[in-house]
Amino acid sequence: MPFPVTAACPDVRILNRQTAEVEVQPERKKVAIVGFASNTLHLVPWQDPAYEIWGLNQGHVNFQRRADRWFEMHLPEYTEDVRDPEYLKFLTECPVPVYMIEAYEQYPSSVRYPIEAAIAYAGRDYFGSSVAFMLAIAALEEMERVDIYGVNLAIGDEYFYEKPNAEWWIGLLQGRGISVNVPYASSLLKQPMRYGYSAQRTANAMTKVLLTGRSGEYDRQAAAKLNEYHILIGAKRECDALQQIAEGLDRGADIVLMTPAQPPAAQTT
C-alpha cells in the first residue's frame, strides 16, 4: 500500500459487503473527507485519533497515513484512471472498505453503496458528486462532525453540477445537527459578492475582461507566427528540392522540364 498504518488508524472491518455494514473500533464521531485539491490538504488532521479519514478516487497518492474508508463511485468502465496507472492495483489491494456501486469480486474490499438508505435519508435522489455519497454515509452513521479538505469543485463542469450538489448536502447535514467544517480556502460555501451589496456581480469581473483581451491578443500573435512558420516550412521544402536537383546534376541526371497538363476543354452542345 502507498500509505502507512499509524497509531491514528482505527481498526476497520467489513461485516457485510452487500449491505455495506462496517465496524470501526474504537468508534469515531468525527470524519475528515479528503479530496485532492492541494490548497487545503495541509490542514488534514492526519494523526488526530478522534478522526476517521476517508478518501476517494485516485487521491491516495496524497495520503500521509492509511485511509479508514475509500470511495470509488463510478461504473467499472470509468473506474480506471489515466492519471494514476497503478489505481486499479490500489483498489485490488486496498485493505479498508471501498464503497462502490456494487461489491465487485475483483476488488475484495469493495462494498455495495447503500444507495436506497441514502435516498431515504435525503428524501430525494440527488447525488451529483462523490462528495455527496461520502456526506450521506457520514449522516447515516450519525457522525457529529465532518471536515472537508482538498475539495474545491471549481473547475469546468464540476462548478455547475458537482459544487451545488455537494453544498446542498452540506446544508442538509447542518440542518440535521451535524457540524460541517469547510476551510476558508475552499471554494465551497463561498460567495464572490453578497448579492445586492455590490455593483459588480462577481469580484473578478474587470480582471476577466482584461485577461480575455490579453488572451485574444495572444491568439492574434500566435496566428501570425503560425503563418510565418508555414511560409518558412514552404521555403525550406523548396530549398531541399533544389538541393536534390543540384545533387542529381552533379551525378549525371538531366533536368526535364514538363509542361503542366491543361484541363480538358469544356464541351459544347
pLDDT in tens, 10-28: 999 999 999 999 999 999 9
Residue 266 in any domain: the answer is: no
The reported pLDDT for the residue numbered 46 is 96
Residue 160 in any domain: the answer is: yes
Stretch 65-84: mean pLDDT: 88
Q: Which of 49-53, 91-95, 117-121, 264-268 has the lowest mean pLDDT?
A: 264-268
- Nine cell digits for residue 48: 488526530
How far, in Å, are 78, 120, 127, 131 from residue 55 at the CA level? 18, 24, 17, 10
Same domain (yes/no): 24, 48: yes
Residue 216 in any domain: the answer is: yes
In total, the chain counts a number of residues equal to 269
Same domain (yes/no): 86, 167: yes
The reported pLDDT for the residue numbered 205 is 63
Same domain (yes/no): 104, 221: no
* pLDDT for 37 beyond 60: yes
pTM (two decimals): 0.74
Stretch 238-262: mean pLDDT: 76
Q: pLDDT band at residue 128, thresholds of 50, 70 and 90?
A: very high
Supply the DSSP string of 134-179, one letter for each residue: HHHHHHHTT-SEEEEES----STHIIIIIHHHHHHHHHHHHHTT-E
SS3 content of the chain, % helix, strand, coil (to 5): 40, 15, 45
Same domain (yes/no): 37, 122: yes
Same domain (yes/no): 23, 89: yes
Same domain (yes/no): 141, 108: yes
Same domain (yes/no): 121, 158: yes
Stretch 104-121: mean pLDDT: 97
Residue 36 in any domain: the answer is: yes
Same domain (yes/no): 149, 242: no
* pLDDT for 2 beyond 70: no
The reported pLDDT for the residue numbered 211 is 81
Domain that holds residue 230: 196-250
